[in-house]
């Protein structure tokens, strides 16, 4: 290999059932005395935080819970969380929940300590500030946010912006499968497909694809493919839940270094305009984007096909098509909506969606095949 390869990921990853209940012990060992925990109202309502809060009370460590995170969080929520961190003099931030909570926690930890504004740090490596110590605890097996240097923020109707910086990688990612046992089937399915998309797009990324991310993407896809149906059918299958968490984490490590592409570019406007959950947005556009990419990515799709379909035979193209067919049928098999019109989107909305999708140049540049505005409009039309 003659080119330079740089691979970054989270400093420490803990995988242990029940470990979330001992978060206070982890914080104490790090020497912190005042913690802001960033989450959302849905997680708060589940009662998952009760043992966490008891642990902090028993050790006498101050814990402030900020639970106003929304899906696809707007800038205002980030600024409110930063203010909460400053008001309680937090010396550590914990992100606890799905990808939106983890993304919000990353930026809270950074901006609560840095003198920078959110507007100043949008883009790639625009921050020079230091963040507060940060622990991320995912409660879904999907985004991989606990091992990515990315936070995605909604900045207006149909628009999202990102902060990308190594400063957003946490000190610790804690994977506790017990936190995912009660996830509804629909959330389990959508977040699981989201993680699969991360693995697939990382493996086929036009830029920064590398042997380390490839290995992680393949293993992630194996774990996710073998266990997604299992956890949808039996949400209390703890072993399968843990495999899903690990698969999502590995996929996150992969795409953090070999970035995602057009599936995510076309999914973003669905979330920003219509508040469709990110995993479901990815599931809706995955197959048509892959069919569009077929002429450029068939050999790579064929390599991934035999991971999900081990007995598969045929030519490279036949294997690639079989993978796309399998993934196209997957959302329906898992009980997810499969058409944009099922989500309240009309034909009149497609032009605006296409315009918004075409603006995601950071992601579209990673796609195996270039897309025009007409191509993007046609993909939305296919899944309408």
Domains of the chain: which residue ranges?
12-180, 185-383
Grouping H, G, I as helix, E, B as strand and the rest as coil, residue 61 is: coil
Contact 83, 25 (CB under 8 A): no
- Between CA 153 and CA 78 the distance in angstroms is 9
- Between CA 359 and CA 245 the distance in angstroms is 32
Nearest to 260 by CA among 290, 225, 299, 239: 290
Contact 177, 17 (CB under 8 A): yes
Q: What share of the chain is helix, strand, coil (3-state, %, to 5)?
A: 55, 15, 30
Region 185-383: CATH code:
1.20.1090.10
Q: Where are the alpha helices (DSSP H) in 174-312?
A: 185-203, 211-233, 238-255, 262-274, 278-308
Question: φ, ψ for residue 348 (rounded to 5)?
Answer: -65, -20
User: What is the residue-level pLDDT of the chain in tens, covering all 384 positions?
Assistant: 557 888 989 999 999 999 999 999 999 999 999 999 999 999 999 999 999 999 999 999 999 999 999 988 999 999 999 999 999 999 999 999 999 999 999 999 999 999 899 999 999 999 988 999 999 999 999 999 999 999 989 887 667 889 999 999 999 999 999 999 989 999 999 999 999 999 999 999 998 999 999 999 999 999 999 999 999 999 999 999 999 999 999 999 999 999 999 999 999 999 888 989 999 999 999 999 999 999 999 999 999 999 999 999 999 999 999 999 999 999 999 999 999 999 999 999 999 999 999 999 999 999 999 999 999 999 999 999
Nearest to 187 by CA among 247, 99, 308: 99
| Domain 12-180 = CATH 3.90.79.10 | no
């Amino acid at each position: 290999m003659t080119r330079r390869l740089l691979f970054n990921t989270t400093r420490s990853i803990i995988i242990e059932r029940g470990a979330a209940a001992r978060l206070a012990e982890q914080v104490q060992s790090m020497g912190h005395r005042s913690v802001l925990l960033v989450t959302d109202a849905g997680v708060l309502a589940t009662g998952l935080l009760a043992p966490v809060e008891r642990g902090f009370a028993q050790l006498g460590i101050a814990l402030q819970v900020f639970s106003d995170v929304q899906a696809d969080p707007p800038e205002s929520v980030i600024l409110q969380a930063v203010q909460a961190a400053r008001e309680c003099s937090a010396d550590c931030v914990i992100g606890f929940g799905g990808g939106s909570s983890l993304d919000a926690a990353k930026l809270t930890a950074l901006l609560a300590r840095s003198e920078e504004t959110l507007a100043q740090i949008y883009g790639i490596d625009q921050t020079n500030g230091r963040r507060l110590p940060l622990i991320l605890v995912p409660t879904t097996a999907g985004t991989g946010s606990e091992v990515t240097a990315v936070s995605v923020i909604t900045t207006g109707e149909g628009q999202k912006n990102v902060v990308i910086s190594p400063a957003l990688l946490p000190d610790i990612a804690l994977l506790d499968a017990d936190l995912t046992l009660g996830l509804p089937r629909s959330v389990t399915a959508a977040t699981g497909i989201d993680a699969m998309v991360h693995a697939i797009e990382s493996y086929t990324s036009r830029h920064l694809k590398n042997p380390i991310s490839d290995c992680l993407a393949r293993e992630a896809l194996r774990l996710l493919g073998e266990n997604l149906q299992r956890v949808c059918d039996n949400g209390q299958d703890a072993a399968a839940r843990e495999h899903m968490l690990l698969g999502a984490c590995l996929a996150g490590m992969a795409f953090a270094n070999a970035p995602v592409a057009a599936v995510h570019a076309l999914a973003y406007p669905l979330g920003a305009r219509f508040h469709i959950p990110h995993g479901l947005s990815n599931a809706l556009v995955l197959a048509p984007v892959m069919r569009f990419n077929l002429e450029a990515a068939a050999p790579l799709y064929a390599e991934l096909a035999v991971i999900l379909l081990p007995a598969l035979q045929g030519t490279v193209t036949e294997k690639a098509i079989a993978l796309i067919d399998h993934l196209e049928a997957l959302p329906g098999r898992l009980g997810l909506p499969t058409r944009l019109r099922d989500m309240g989107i009309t034909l009149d909305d497609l032009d605006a969606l296409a315009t918004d999708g075409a603006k995601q140049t950071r992601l579209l540049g990673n796609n195996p095949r270039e897309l025009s505005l007409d191509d993007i409009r046609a993909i939305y039309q296919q899944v309408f």
